[in-house]
């Protein structure tokens, strides 16, 4: 029988759960309709198209990841915050592979595109972590890309069974966090040195003070 109270939000959550189970690329409207107990045409009363469904799943994933990472870093700073953020992202990717994949499958068409706005919220907790390292504003985008790339790459390899050697994966992850932490501190130190004038005084900067 059709599920009572079916609406767009319910459909998107069901789609995200199904994507996690069978893989994002295997998600179709017909499979989703079977999951929620309706015929496929009924879904189009709430969802405009499969592309619309994908965008909604991606936005949901960005919001959920932001909430998880934001909660993990609460009250933390420096390496502790970095480790908490990285761990929360890794856990989210491993637990919700389908919906996370949805965030990688769409290209925003402009700064006000819904996916762009959602992705900004998704990356917000990592930006908060990097501000704690006193990263210069002009380097923030580069730092965000680098940090996201290394932790995404690790979790993706783990999820796909890419780590076959006997070394403990958790220890390798901690090693990676140490590498990133040391790198961020080195970048911040270099920036600070570059701001000093020959007399040893520092030029004004808009960066937040280090924790």
The answer to whether residue 210 is domain-embedded is no
Q: Is the pLDDT of residue 104 over 90?
A: no
Are 126 and 159 within one domain?
Answer: yes
The answer to whether residue 17 is domain-embedded is yes
The answer to whether residue 79 is domain-embedded is yes
DSSP 26-70: G--HHHHHHHHTS-HHHHTTT-S-HHHHHHHHHHHHHHHHHHHHH
pLDDT digits (tens, 9 = 90+) for 52-90: 999 999 999 999 999 999 999 999 999 999 999 999 999
Are 91 and 43 within one domain?
Answer: no
Are 30 and 77 within one domain?
Answer: no
Are 76 and 169 within one domain?
Answer: yes
pLDDT digits (tens, 9 = 90+) for 152-171: 999 999 998 899 888 899 99
Mean pLDDT score of the chain = 87
Are 34 and 70 within one domain?
Answer: no
Going by pLDDT thresholds of 50, 70 and 90, the confidence category of residue 188 is: confident
Going by pLDDT thresholds of 50, 70 and 90, the confidence category of residue 106 is: confident
DSSP 144-201: HHHHHHHHHHHHHHHHTT---SSS-HHHHHHHHHHHHHHHHHHHHHHHHHHTB-TTSP
Domain that holds residue 108: 58-194
Are 8 and 90 within one domain?
Answer: no
- Residue 193, pLDDT score: 61
Are 88 and 178 within one domain?
Answer: yes
Higher pLDDT among residues 76 and 120, named by residue: 76
108: part of which helix (H) or strand (E)?
none
pTM of the model: 0.82
């Amino acid at each position: 029988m059709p599920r009572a109270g079916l609406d767009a939000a319910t459909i998107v959550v069901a789609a995200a759960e199904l994507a996690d189970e069978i893989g994002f690329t295997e998600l179709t409207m017909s499979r989703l309709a079977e999951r929620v107990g309706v015929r496929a045409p009924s879904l189009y009363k709430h969802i405009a198209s499969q592309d619309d469904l994908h965008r909604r799943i991606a936005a949901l994933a960005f919001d959920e990841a932001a909430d998880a990472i934001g909660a993990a870093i609460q009250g933390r700073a420096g390496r502790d915050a970095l480790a908490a953020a990285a761990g929360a992202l890794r856990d989210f990717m491993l637990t919700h592979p389908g919906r996370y994949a949805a965030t990688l499958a769409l290209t925003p068409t402009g700064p006000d595109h819904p996916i762009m706005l959602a992705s900004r919220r998704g990356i917000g907790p990592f930006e908060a972590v990097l501000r704690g390292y006193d990263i210069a504003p002009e380097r923030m985008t580069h730092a965000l890309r680098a940090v996201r790339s290394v932790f995404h790459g690790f979790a993706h390899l783990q999820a796909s069974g890419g780590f076959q050697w006997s070394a403990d994966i958790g220890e390798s992850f901690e090693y990676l966090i140490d590498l990133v932490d040391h790198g961020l501190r080195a970048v911040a130190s270099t920036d600070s040195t570059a701001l000093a004038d020959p007399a040893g005084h520092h030029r004004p900067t808009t960066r937040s003070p280090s924790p």
